[in-house]
Homo-oligomer: A and B are copies of this chain.
């Protein structure tokens, strides 16, 4: 590693914010010095609690992330925020409002906020996010909030980078709202039902409970014979068998309602992970996912680098002409000998 990179790393570890911003930019830009920097700072990671917060547009999760950051600051914890939420240059009032609210926190050295842009290609985003988490961890931030939008691959990738995943729902998002994705249910450690002052909040909570298999279906024809017994639903959190039942926390992020209770659930989840060995397992999952991402990219780059300049394009053209098919073409490229 060159001396400038060395100096940059020392400044980062000493808490210099400009060094932190510079290292993050190098990592985001996939700069030549990024791998060496990441290698060197990795020994200083492993102390942060990484919290993924995900949900569909309209759930108010940006506001919730801001409120949660403030709740953590009130407890004296340092907070890094990564907003993996690529919005167009033309974004409406809501996001702008969030950014304005964020300014409340801007003068505070105990918090660092970074938006991650995709720049058209989303391919390297999961890797870049994992790398920026490592940078903030090395810089000493105790809690790292990673905000992602949508219900797709990105969420699952982000979940593989988090210790605790909060899935944000909201009432009244339309008639598909009940169709909460199975994949999202599987990654949720905690549910936040935000905008809980809106009509339908209780229905959203009930729908989540039913998904958890903890409430009887009460729709029309199949109504249960009697009312559900209040003892039927176990307390959320750690269970006697060592598992974790995701709590469902109502919040009104805009007014701060329920946010501290949500923060406490996140802390309880970390304690549960530590007590049960789950923390070590999640660390292993995170590391395995990161190594796999690096290896997949390097293998692909090495294969392309070993092919003549137009070999891949010619193969694609042959597939388009149906002279060959993608599977046969892939086999030929794998065994290409000059």
Give A153 to B152 CA distance when docked, in angstroms. 6
The answer to whether A87 and B118 touch (CB under 8 A), given A303-B295, A322-B46, is no
Segment at the interface with B among A4-12, A237-245, A265-273, A283-291 = A283-291
Which residues on the B side are within 8 Å of A125 (C-beta)?
A: 153
Distance between A324 CB and nearest chain B CB, rounded to angstroms: 8
Give A150 to B329 CA distance when docked, in angstroms. 32
Q: Does the CB pair B294–A173 fall under 8 Å?
A: no
Distance between A263 CB and nearest chain B CB, rounded to angstroms: 22
Number of A residues with CB within 8 Å of any CB on chain B: 92
Which residues 27-59 of A have a CB within 8 angstroms of B? 35, 38-39, 42-43, 45-46, 56-59
Q: Does the CB pair B179–A88 fall under 8 Å?
A: yes
Q: Does the CB pair B316–A88 fall under 8 Å?
A: no
Total identical chains: 2
Which residues on the B side are within 8 Å of A108 (C-beta)?
A: none
Contact of A284 among B316, B324, B333 (CB under 8 A): B316
Q: Is A109 close to B, CB under 8 A?
A: no
Identify 6 residue pairs between A and B in the complex whose beta-carbon atoms are under 8 Å apart, listed by A's number.
Answer: A56-B56, A88-B181, A91-B178, A118-B183, A291-B316, A291-B329
Residue of A59, A89, A151, A180 with most partner-chain B CB within 10 A: A151
